[in-house]
Amino acid sequence: MTTGIIYDPIYLEHRIGQHVESHERLIAIIEYLKEKQILDDPNFKLIKPRSATLEQIKYVHTEALINEIKEISKIADLTGKIQNLDMDTSVSAKTYDASLFSVGGNLEAIDRILNGDITNAFSIVRPPGHHSRKNRCSGFCIFNNIAITAEYLLREKEFKKVAIIDWDCHHGDGTQEIFYQGSSSEKGDVIFFSSHQDGRTLYPGSGFINEIGKGKGEGKIINYPMPPKAADDVLMIFFEEIIKPILFEFKPDFILISAGFDTHWTDRLTNMGWTYQAPALFLEKIMTIAKDIVKNRIAITLEGGYEIDKQAIAVYNCLRVLNNEKQKIIEEKPRTSDETLLNYINTKLIPNMRTKLSPYWNCF
Ligand SMILES: [Zn+2]
C-alpha cells in the first residue's frame, strides 16, 4: 500500500505575519518528515497539488465570497500589507492562490486514491478550512477544503455517501453550517462528526448535542463537546459508542477527516488533554472499520495545531498509521481523564447523545 502526502511550497505563501496559523507550521511538519525519512520511503508518495476550479469552490461558497477573497488578496498585493477579514483571519497577496491549491490538494488526493495510485492520503495544506461558511470566512480559514472535497465526491465522482470526521479542538462550525440541511447537490448524503472542546469554553462557541441538522441533514450532524482537560480516553469513547455504530449503519463510500492537532495538552489556544499519539490511535480505530465499509478510502486534510513541534510528531504518527505501521509511532507518557470527567461522559453526555440521535439511527 502507498500513502499519499500532498504538499507544495505554495502553502507557505499564505503569509500572514505574526500569527499562530503561520507558514512555520508546515515547514516544521515537512522538516520532521524529512528527518524521519518518510519522504524517501517508497511506501509514501509526495504529490503536488493542483488548483481547484471556481466551479468547484462554488459547490459550497457564494460567488460574492470568492470574489471578496480574490479582491482582498489583490489589495494585499498592491499595498504590500496584510489585510484582515476579521479579528482572526488574515489575507496576504498569495492567499487566494494558496487557498485554491489548498482545496485542489485535497481533490488531487481523491483522484489518486480512486485511480489506485495511492491507498489513502494526508493533505498537508493551509489555509485551513473547517470554520469557513457559505458566505463568510473566519477562524484562520479561507475556503472550506473538506466540505468542497465531500461535494466533489458526490457531484463529480458519483459517490452517494460521504462521512466527515473532524477531530480539531474547535468545533467545525463552517462544515456544520454547509451540511446542516444535507448536501446542496441532492446527489447524495453527508454525515458530519465533530469532536471538540465544549463551546462554552472555546471558540467558536457552538457544537452542542442538540445541533443535529435539519431536513435531509437531520440526524446527520453529530457533535461531541468534550470538557476541558479531556484526555485520549474520551475520544476513544466517542468512537466506540457513537461513530462506529452510526458508520456501520450509514455505510459511507468514503471517509474524510478534518485533522486538527490543537487538542494536544500543551496547545496554546486550547485546554484539552490529548497526547500527540491520540489522533493516530483514533485514526487506527477509524481504519479498522474503513477496511469493511469504505474499502480503505480515507483522505485527511490538515486543519489547526499551534504547538508546531508536537503537531509535526502527531502528523508523522498519523502517516505511519495510514500506512499500517502503528508500531513506528512515537508516543509520549499516556494521559487519562479524571474520574469525574469520565463519569460525566459515560453517564450524561453519551446517553444524552444517544437519546437525541435515536429517532434517526436504529443502532440507538
Ligand atoms: Zn482548531
Per the structure block, which three cell numbers stand in for 347? 453517564
**Looking at residues 144-171, what average pLDDT do you find?**
97
Q: Annotated catalytic residue: which of 61, 131, 196, 264?
A: 131
Q: For 193, how many CA atoms within 13 A lie in the half-sphere containing its CB? A: 25
Distance 213 CA to ligand 1 centre (A): 22
Distance 264 CA to ligand 1 centre (A): 11
DSSP 140: T
Percent of the chain scoring above 70 in pLDDT: 100
Whether 19 is catalytic is no
The pLDDT of residue 82 is: 92
**Looking at residues 167-182, what average pLDDT do you find?**
98
Q: pLDDT (tens digit, 9 = 90+) per residue, 63-80? A: 999 999 999 999 999 999
E strand spans, 56-102: 83-84, 90-91
Distance 304 CA to ligand 1 centre (A): 4
**Looking at residues 216-222, what average pLDDT do you find?**
97
Which residue, 86, 144, 102, is CA-closest to 7?
102
Burial of 9 (0-12, 13-18, 19+ CB in 10 A): exposed
How many CB atoms are located within 10 Å of the residue 23 CB? 18
pTM for this structure?
0.98
Distance 231 CA to ligand 1 centre (A): 16
In this structure, whether the domain defined by 3-357 belongs to CATH 3.40.50.2300 is answered with: no
